[in-house]
């Protein structure tokens, strides 16, 4: 596995790949890599071609009071994990190239970026869409791999790819969970030993919503089950617990195919999100 920093080096590697006729598979990350990132890399590896992994903690997607400064940075472990999972090229993007002096162009994600996480993180998805567009432009990727855990992000990026006519195929990789059910996240390492059981109320609530959905027909029953489990954990501070359509993120009264439960909550100062498909 090669490791590059500049866009010029990245493009030279990608150009050599293109000469060899290989498609470029791309896994963007913010580093602090864990087993879920490895699953994305392995999915890319399994599709064949040249696998590029980027590491960039994107300042534009963090709010002024969020954890940008303390976001975990583990470059040596990241490099080992990316290589073991099958990456061909690791790209540690640089601030001065991603946001060069005088940069003044940003994408706006509109209504899709104002709901769910967007309602609590104003501008977050504009920052995500902007950086993903830049990363795709730099890599010239044919296929982009994103995780289902950040489901709203997959919908927004899918829309961005279509709106900007980008020749990129999006692959969404299923959420990877720890054995106790908690979705893997770089932010889980912020949780103390006594906070972790509190966080488990999130996957438990999603399970309860899925069971209620199996038994009933309307969204209200599943929402009641979802919120009951969350509310029972007093140390969990819920931002939202909602059920929306997987394709449009619209709210529906009936539990139609594609209905999905979404949760965001704080445990102490750690913000966690998760989601689960209720109706296949």
Query: Catalytic residue numbers?
Result: 37
H helix runs in the chain, sequence order: 7-19, 35-46, 75-85, 95-98, 117-120, 124-139, 151-163, 196-199, 201-215, 219-231
Residues 6 or more apart whose Cβ sits within 8 Å of residue 116: 152, 240, 242, 244, 249, 262, 264
DSSP letter, residue 263: E
- Least Å distance, CB 177 to ligand AMP, is 7
- Going by C-alpha positions, the residue among 86, 81, 90 that lies closest to residue 49 is 86
Per CB under 6 A, residues contacting ligand AMP are: 29-30, 36-37, 40, 146-150, 173, 175-176, 183-186
Tell me how far, at minimum, the Cβ of 217 lies from ligand AMP, in Å: 30
Nearer to ligand AMP, 17 or 61 (CB): 61
> Which of 88/150 has CB closer to ligand AMP?
150
CB neighbour list of residue 245: distance below 8 Å, 6 or more residues apart: 251, 252, 256, 258, 259, 260
Q: Select 53 or 255, whichever has its Cβ closest to ligand AMP.
A: 53
**Smallest distance from the beta carbon of 16 to ligand AMP, in angstroms?**
26
Return the number of the residue (132 or 255) whose C-beta is nearest ligand AMP.
132
Joined together, the tokens standing for residue 174 give 């299923």
Instruction: Report the nearest approach of ligand AMP to the CB of residue 86 (Å).
Output: 15
């Amino acid at each position: 596995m090669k490791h590059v920093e500049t866009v010029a080096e990245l493009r030279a590697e990608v150009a050599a790949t293109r000469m060899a006729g290989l498609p470029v598979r791309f896994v963007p990350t913010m580093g602090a890599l864990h087993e879920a990132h490895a699953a994305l890399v392995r999915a890319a590896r399994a599709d064949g071609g040249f696998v590029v992994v980027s590491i960039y903690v994107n300042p534009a997607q963090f709010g002024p009071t969020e954890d940008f400064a303390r976001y975990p940075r583990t470059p040596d472990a990241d490099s080992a994990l990316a290589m073991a999972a099958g990456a061909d090229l690791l790209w540690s993007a640089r601030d001065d190239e991603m946001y060069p002096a005088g940069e003044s162009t940003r994408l706006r994600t509109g209504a899709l970026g104002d709901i769910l996480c967007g309602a609590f993180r104003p501008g977050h998805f504009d920052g995500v869409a902007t950086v993903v567009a830049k990363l795709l432009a730099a890599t010239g990727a044919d296929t982009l791999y994103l995780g289902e855990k950040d489901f709203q992000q997959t919908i927004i990026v899918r829309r961005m790819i279509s709106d900007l006519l980008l020749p990129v195929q999006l692959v969404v990789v299923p959420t990877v969970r720890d054995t106790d059910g908690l979705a893997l996240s770089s932010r889980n390492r912020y949780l103390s030993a006594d906070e972790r059981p509190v966080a488990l109320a999130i996957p438990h609530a999603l399970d309860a919503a899925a069971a209620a959905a199996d038994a009933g027909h309307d969204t209200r029953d599943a929402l009641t089950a979802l919120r009951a489990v969350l509310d029972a954990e007093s140390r969990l501070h819920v931002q939202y617990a909602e059920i929306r359509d997987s394709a449009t993120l619209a709210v529906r009264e009936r539990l139609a195919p594609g209905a999905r439960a979404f949760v965001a909550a704080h445990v102490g100062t750690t913000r966690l999100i998760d989601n689960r498909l209720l109706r296949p």
